[in-house]
């Protein structure tokens, strides 16, 4: 008797998009941030910390000019359009960035569980430490510095979390309501630098997602 092949079907839960940021865009964004770091006045003017929940050293609002000049705005629009088309088989006609920001995270800092605004959100990585440090108990899974996506209630054959280890260039798209957090790390003075955004799309498509 021929053995039947079991296929895994995942019709429930939000779909996550994963794409690579072009190296040219990463370089332009990092150069932009590095210049702001040494410009005390501009750093204060672009401080976005009061609008975010993170317990981190430095959170900077991204200016519209750099969104356009770096190509990051176009990258977000194109990536979001392809992601939604793959899932919904529909093309978006509207893509409006509400805000975009940089998070500069250092040792012992963290981002608690939270959600975003708009319709769709995302996060990517511009710089990561060589190490995030070890766990206190050596036999435990090391989630230091990781992004944790959280959805739903744990049940049989249903996982509720996805743990992502940051890699430079990796970018993840997700619906705005998806809860997530970032764990602290230790044993290094290096920076973990991420970039995020919120955007709205066509109401006619969003309301069917």
CB 33 within 8 A of CB 70: no
Structure confidence at residue 11 as a pLDDT band (50, 70, 90): low
Query: For 51-95, how does the pLDDT look when each residue is reduced to its tens digit (9 = 90+)?
Result: 889 999 899 999 999 999 999 999 999 999 999 998 889 999 999
- Cβ-Cβ contacts under 8 Å for 109 (sequence gap 6 or more): 54, 55, 56, 57, 184
Structure confidence at residue 4 as a pLDDT band (50, 70, 90): low
pTM for this model (two decimals): 0.94
Q: What is the rounded CA–CA span in Å between residue 111 and residue 100?
A: 16
CATH number of 17-206: 2.60.120.620
- N-to-C CA span, the chain: 42
Q: Is the pLDDT of residue 8 over 90?
A: no
Beta bridge partner(s), residue 175: 120
Report the pLDDT averaged over residues 120-134. Answer: 97
């Amino acid at each position: 008797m021929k053995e039947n092949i079991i296929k895994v079907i995942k019709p429930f839960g939000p779909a996550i998009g994963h794409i690579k940021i072009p190296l040219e865009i990463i370089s332009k964004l990092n150069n932009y941030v590095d210049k702001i770091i040494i410009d005390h006045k501009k750093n204060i003017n672009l401080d976005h910390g009061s609008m975010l929940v993170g317990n981190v050293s430095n959170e900077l609002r991204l200016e519209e000019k750099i969104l356009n000049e770096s190509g990051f705005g176009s990258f977000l629009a194109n990536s979001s359009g392809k992601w939604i088309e793959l899932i919904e088989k529909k093309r978006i006609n509207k893509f409006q960035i509400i805000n975009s920001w940089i998070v500069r995270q250092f040792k012992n800092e963290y981002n608690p569980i939270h959600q975003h605004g708009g319709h769709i959100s995302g996060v990517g990585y511009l710089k990561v430490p060589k190490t995030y440090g070890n766990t206190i108990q050596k036999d435990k899974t090391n989630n230091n510095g990781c992004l944790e996506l959280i959805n739903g209630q744990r049940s049989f054959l249903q996982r509720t979390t996805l743990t992502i280890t940051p890699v430079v260039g990796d970018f993840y798209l997700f619906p705005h309501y998806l809860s997530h957090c970032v764990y602290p790390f230790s044993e290094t003075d290096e920076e973990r630098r991420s970039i995020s955004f919120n955007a709205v799309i066509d109401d006619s498509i969003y309301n069917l997602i």
